[in-house]
Chains A and B, each alone.
Chain A
Amino acid sequence: GAVVSQHPSWVICKSGTSVKIECRSLDFQATTMFWYRQFPKQSLMLMATSNEGSKATYEQGVEKDKFLINHASLTLSTLTVTSAHPEDSSFYICSAREWTVNQNIQYFGAGTRLSVL
């Protein structure tokens, strides 16, 4: 299957600082990427859909000014958690959608575990 690289895998930061997470599709072009958040023992929660060259579409209840998404190229999307607070501590996971003939498949990155002190 296709490979999606996510970096960093772990980040610890102080409250009030900003953190950037990168998501790259390594062997395919991804016009659409997705950002999820998952709290311990809970389901995946979609935060936003990121389309190359356009503004991200955020799910209801997700603050777009706090979670900045930039999808500047066909292989890279970034999520910036601005002014992070302890309640933002979570597991953030990106996925990238690969289009092939008659197929539309999402592949996930390994995730980023964010701890805000």
Chain B
Amino acid sequence: QKEVEQNSGPLSVPEGAIASLNCTYSDRGSQSFFWYRQYSGKSPELIMFIYSNGDKEDGRFTAQLNKASQYVSLLIRDSQPSDSATYLCAVQIPGAQKLVFGQGTRLTINP
């Protein structure tokens, strides 16, 4: 089992709809969770981070964390074509300096 798993997609969502991106992790002791966005040919850009169970909202983005289910998600409301990118889920596992990344989900917003 991979430490961090994401559906690689591609995920296609119509413009204006809600895009839902999911991520599961294997280490129950993980404390910190991050979502990065990576446009083609560019480096990753931090979108959100979440540490506590529940929802965290920032503009059109909402991160959701459920530690009991070892599940973290990212919702993008009112999706725009500019949201088309690969979204990377990253987890800080206990005792490690590094982040463990999922393989990324490619999201396409269709006008």
Contacts and interface: CB of A to CB of B under 8 A. Distances in A.
B46 A43 contact: no
A105 B34 contact: yes
A67 interface: no
A1 interface: yes
Interface of A is mostly: strand
Contacts of B44: 44, 93, 108
B26 interface: no
A105 B46 contact: yes
Interface in A22-75: 32, 34, 43-44, 46, 49, 51
Q: Interface residue tally of chain A, by bracket? A: 20 to 34
A105 B97 contact: no
B21 to A, nearest CB: 15
Contacts of A32: 97
Q: Residue among A1, A44, A51, A105 with the most chain B CB within 10 A? A: A44
A103 B36 CA distance: 16
A109 B45 CA distance: 9
Contact of A97 (B51, B97, B103): B97
Contact of B104 (A43, A108, A109): A43
Contact of B43 (A43, A51, A105, A110): A110
A49 to B, nearest CB: 6
B102 to A, nearest CB: 8
B44 to A, nearest CB: 5
A91 B40 CA distance: 12
Interface of B: 32, 34, 36, 41-46, 49, 51, 88, 90, 92, 97-99, 101, 103-104
12 contacts: A6-B43, A32-B97, A34-B98, A43-B101, A44-B88, A44-B101, A49-B98, A91-B41, A104-B32, A104-B92, A106-B99, A110-B43
Interface of A: 1, 6, 32, 34, 43-44, 46, 49, 51, 91, 93, 97, 102-111
